[in-house]
Amino acid sequence: MKPVRVGICGLGTVGGGTFNVLTRNADEIARRAGRPLVIEQVAHRSINPACDLTGIRTTKDVFEVATNPDIDVVVELIGGYDVARELVMMAIENGKHVVTANKALIAVHGNEIFKAAHEKGVIVAFEAAVAGGIPVIKSLREGLGANRISWVAGIINGTGNYILTHMRDEGRAFEDVLAEAQALGYAEADPTFDVEGIDAAHKLTILASIAYGVPLQFEKAYTEGISRVTAEDVEQADNLGYIIKHLGISKRTGDGLELRVHPTLIPKERLLASVHGVKNAIAVMGDAVGPTLYYGAGAGDEPTASAVVADLLDVARDISTEHRYRTPYLAFCGVTDDCDELPIMPMEDITTAYYLRLLAVDRPGVLARVATILSEEGISIEALIQKEATEGELVPIILLTHRTLEKHMNEAIRRIESLADIAGSVTRIRVESLDEQD
Amino acid sequence: MKPVRVGICGLGTVGGGTFNVLTRNADEIARRAGRPLVIEQVAHRSINPACDLTGIRTTKDVFEVATNPDIDVVVELIGGYDVARELVMMAIENGKHVVTANKALIAVHGNEIFKAAHEKGVIVAFEAAVAGGIPVIKSLREGLGANRISWVAGIINGTGNYILTHMRDEGRAFEDVLAEAQALGYAEADPTFDVEGIDAAHKLTILASIAYGVPLQFEKAYTEGISRVTAEDVEQADNLGYIIKHLGISKRTGDGLELRVHPTLIPKERLLASVHGVKNAIAVMGDAVGPTLYYGAGAGDEPTASAVVADLLDVARDISTEHRYRTPYLAFCGVTDDCDELPIMPMEDITTAYYLRLLAVDRPGVLARVATILSEEGISIEALIQKEATEGELVPIILLTHRTLEKHMNEAIRRIESLADIAGSVTRIRVESLDEQD
């Protein structure tokens, strides 16, 4: 069989990993693809000492790969938005399949890219863009293809999970663990994308698009980071039987789709609660299959390369079938027009349970006033912990509520904060049971 | 697009679930398949009250479905060996694709079936045969297609996991929990297939075949059940930081493949240790991706139907691509001839760590005699617990060893059992760290 000719753009961490996996496991990959995958050209700016490029055609110009007539598939691993977008659009324009690990590009420009790919009859594959090596895109798109998906909830940012894991295990503060993660290379010098949830929101946007067949709508995702989670909250959650994880959550409701990234209390007995350190995991609930979970490395050279090469296997199949394989790649709203109208819900319309932590002046009646406000807003209390305090000091009050509308909680918090007995602002962390009834 | 015409054979638990999922989610499935899937005929012997067969062509004769010229794909859900095998071979002979949930049939007769399917140019798909609704076959075959797999370890029998979970949580005996599981319908009246590991060995055989590209070799699998695991062992394992799970394990070594089902101590912090009740999970280690895990319902009507329908989506793609989709279904040794020679290793040649429990007469020197035997067999001790006993009573001794050859352990146990100080036989349970170095 004629080989599939691969052009790799970018030879950094993931590019180098992809080069090495394709080279090392060439025989195994050829058997699974039904034909060899050969690296025809590599575009890179600096040397990756992990890669032996002997005999490989190289260039510094990524656009040379996109126009190279000897290349069937362009692997975009340069990252960023502008050049990556131009590269991908040019590759499509030249009739080449595209494989990318670029979550930001897909989440923000995916609709335009898929439309162009659809018109040109090529695949744009992006398994590596979500949760590194975990084959969750393929599982959602094909393995769970029988199901109406009711929710997806995932630990999809390794840096955030590393920080929360160490905060819990060692009782340390956020800033302290972040500094350590930066020193170890698990967090960037500017950690905003990871700790403020932007990276997770990119990935969640992509997961939701595949799970529900809706267009990518990153701009409508609610994004809240972990930088305000305190060691105190981690400990209180633990006392209540919960663990705090930074989750991307998307639920199908009667009113549309919830699409939100935020710190979340989940019961300790959920499998997601046992996912520690930099690892990722995605829980998916389908109406037929029930709860499922996919776990593995969410980043790193060869884990991500594993997903890039899995996409190349799909591309090889599409080439082998004269471009008739790609059906599952086209089942998007925005590309095809046959899916449900599922608007992304504004955050104030979502329903969830809440953990609240407030600091009260230790005066008779303060608890009653807080409880009255919650009751008046239609919010019922599931658990309450009031710590003992010495006379005159501020007392922390911890509350767990039952499920309620976010807008009711917003109003309740506004009213509680205006009480004379309450000091500062109320800490609010959402709580998800992630059980089969959700 | 012309619909894919499905014939369902068997309308029991899984057959009924498949019928209902195909009916209920028809629109969603059609979008993902790129064409509708219609139920053309159902063969069943008794009524399934969960299914509304109005307007469906039915028969009592499964072979009518296998020869029906209006059917593209036969879904075999009757179970058992003989009739199922005849049905599947007849369907293939008539040029029909086959989807089956029958693990015993595939594990025992798969090589013959795949050969016939290969010659006839049809797909035989069996995602539902392993771990119910978890898309682990597709993940191994496609999602992890870049990887050289080094090991697979799974909780692949829900009944066994239910029993071990309750033994641990409630400190109860095997027989006691088994009786409860039978009363609740989680265990058969004759529980042999489940609790003695035969069902798990069928599934492990299939997993190993896909993971390593080797022929199905069920007859070479080592199979040990959980009926001799005691509440005492469960408790001692817990004290040592382990949990006992009934695992199917297959490892690639320099000498071939290990293929074994047995109770296993695994560290509590492994994700597999948090898989409770009737749920299944499979951990897979790839050279590029590292450790991954797939979790969900291993049985049940609609979870299994989810996998059956996922296979039907693959069949639909093969039909859409004029039979050129099926490449990944053909990458078997025995069908194609281009894979490594990987003999299944005899059990005495495997290497693992061990938990030993012995009852000793409380006399000076007994520990020294046991330690000497282990040392002479080249086995080193990692941990040792000797309980206090009242004068003249038997004392339990618990040992954890480092990794050693099974044949050396067999010899050590034979010698220990022959000591005058040791009462009865030595309990031996294998220990697996399941870490990234394994």
Query: What size, in residues, is chain B?
Result: 438
Residue in B19, B35, B37, B142 to test binding to A, most A beta-carbons within 10 Å: B142
Same domain, A175 and A253: yes
Give contacts of A142 with chain B, Cβ < 8 Å. 32, 135, 138, 142, 310, 313-314
Residue in A321, A335, A336, A341 to test binding to B, most B beta-carbons within 10 Å: A321
Domain span including residue A204: 136-297
Q: What is the pLDDT of residue A329?
A: 52
Q: Is A9 annotated as ligand-binding?
A: yes
Same domain, A305 and A413: no
d(CA B14, CA B37): 18
Listed in sequence order, the residues at least 6 apart from B88 whose beta carbon sits closer than 8 Å to its beta carbon are B74, B76, B98, B100, B105, B113, B124
- Show the tokens assigned to B81: 């060996």
Pairing of strands B404-405, B351-361: antiparallel
- Judge whether B243 and B226 are in contact, CB under 8 Å: no
Does the pLDDT at position A234 exceed 70?
A: yes
Same domain, A112 and A153: no
| A244, containing H or E segment | strand A242-253
pLDDT in tens, A62-101: 999 999 999 999 999 999 999 999 999 999 999 999 999 9
pLDDT in tens, B45-95: 999 999 999 999 999 999 999 999 999 999 999 999 999 999 999 999 999
Query: What size, in residues, is chain A?
Result: 438
Per the annotation, the verdict on B203 as an active-site residue is: yes
Give contacts of B209 with chain A, Cβ < 8 Å. none
Same domain, B115 and B182: no
Is B18 inside any structural domain? yes
Same domain, B94 and B17: yes
CATH number of the domain where residue A367 is located: 3.30.70.260
Same domain, B272 and B167: yes
Reference A154, options A171, A168, A140; nearest CA is A140
- Judge whether A198 and A157 are in contact, CB under 8 Å: no
Is B437 inside any structural domain? no
| Residue bearing the bigger pLDDT, B387 or B185 | B185
- The reply to whether residue A306 touches residue B289, judged by beta carbons under 8 angstroms, is yes
Half-sphere exposure of B239 (CA within 13 A, CB side): 15
Q: What is the pLDDT of residue A33?
A: 86
Same domain, B288 and B391: no
Same domain, A27 and A101: yes
Q: Nearest CA of chain B to the CA of A252: how many Å?
A: 14
Same domain, B260 and B276: yes
d(CA A167, CA A187): 15
CATH number of the domain where residue A168 is located: 3.30.360.10
pLDDT in tens, B320-334: 766 555 554 544 444
Same domain, B196 and B212: yes
pLDDT in tens, A140-190: 999 999 999 999 999 999 999 999 999 999 999 999 999 999 999 888 999
**Number of domains observed in the structure of chain A:** 3
Measured CA distances, B322 to A321, A323, B123, B234, B315 (Å): 8, 11, 12, 54, 11
Same domain, B141 and B279: yes
Give contacts of B123 with chain A, Cβ < 8 Å. none
ipTM of the complex: 0.95
Is A438 inside any structural domain? no
Same domain, A116 and A209: no
**pLDDT bracket for residue B200 (50, 70, 90):** very high
d(CA B238, CA A389): 39
